[in-house]
Amino acid sequence: AIVGPTGAGKTTIVNLLMRFYEVSGGDITIDGVSIKDMPREEVHDIFGMVLQDTWMFEGTMRENILFSKTGVSDERLKEICKEAGIWHYVRTLPGGLDYVLENEASVSGGQKQLITIARAMAENAPLLILDEATSSIDTRTEMKISDAFDTLMKGRTSFVVAHRLSTVRTADTILVMNAGRIVEQGTHAQLLAKKGFYYDLYNSQFS
């Protein structure tokens, strides 16, 4: 998990991982290989992404979920929709997966987020970046999204940019950022015990 106040540099870390920015010092390696030695397309292919800014395009629901992914059977696509928690919604659409989305305003923020999660599931990349901003979503939908995130993260290395610290308690490592630097790192319990920057940040969200 990557946490910190607004402007701490969380998004910059994501941009460096994805090679949207080039590293000017140090190195980022994946399985021992520097990302500088990998074609940018290859770096992009091994990361699945679910970002704060969800987007849909004019096309069928099937096309919106599969995007550029080929070779996914209808049976698997149905499973993905169930895992992402949108199968019930898709079934209610006239034509189901063949429903043509002409205007993304007809899809709620929560449904868009779940469709984006389904898209990442279909992509099936080994690494995952989650920018889990769910501030504009009701509690019930947020729980659905949280369950879908849990399913999506199974068996993958995930980088979660966390806005609500209650979601990072189970992370293996939490990177705490402030003013462009990693100021602390450890598990939730270790960081609370330190009574440092994370401790203050965590308690400020619940005070």
What is the per-residue pLDDT for 17? 93
Q: Which is higher by pLDDT, 166 or 67? A: 67
| pLDDT band at residue 192 under the 50/70/90 scheme | very high
Residue 136 has pLDDT above 80, yes or no: no
Q: Report pLDDT for 133.
A: 66
pLDDT value, residue 99: 94
The pLDDT of 150-163, averaged and rounded, is 90
Q: Tokens 């199968």 identify what position?
A: 87
- HEC assignment per residue over the chain: CEECCCCCCHHHHHHHHCCCCCCCCCCCEECCEEHHHCCHHHHHHCEEEECCCCCCCCEEHHHHHHCCCCCCCHHHHHHHHHHHCCHHHHHHCCCHHHCEECCHHHCCHHHHHHHHHHHHHHHCCCEEEEECCCCCCCHHHHHHHHHHHHHHHCCCEEEEECCCHHHCCCCCCEEEEECCEEEEEECHHHHHHHCCHHHHHHHHHHC
The whole-number average pLDDT for the span 109-122 is 91
Provide the percentage of residues in the chain whose pLDDT is more than 90.
69
pLDDT of res. 149: 87
With a cut of 70, say whether residue 164 has pLDDT above it: yes
- The pLDDT value recorded for residue 87 is 95
Say if residues 47 and 14 touch (Cβ distance below 8 Å).
no
pLDDT digits (tens, 9 = 90+) for 51-88: 878 888 999 999 999 988 889 999 999 999 999 999 99
Say whether pLDDT at 200 is over 90: yes
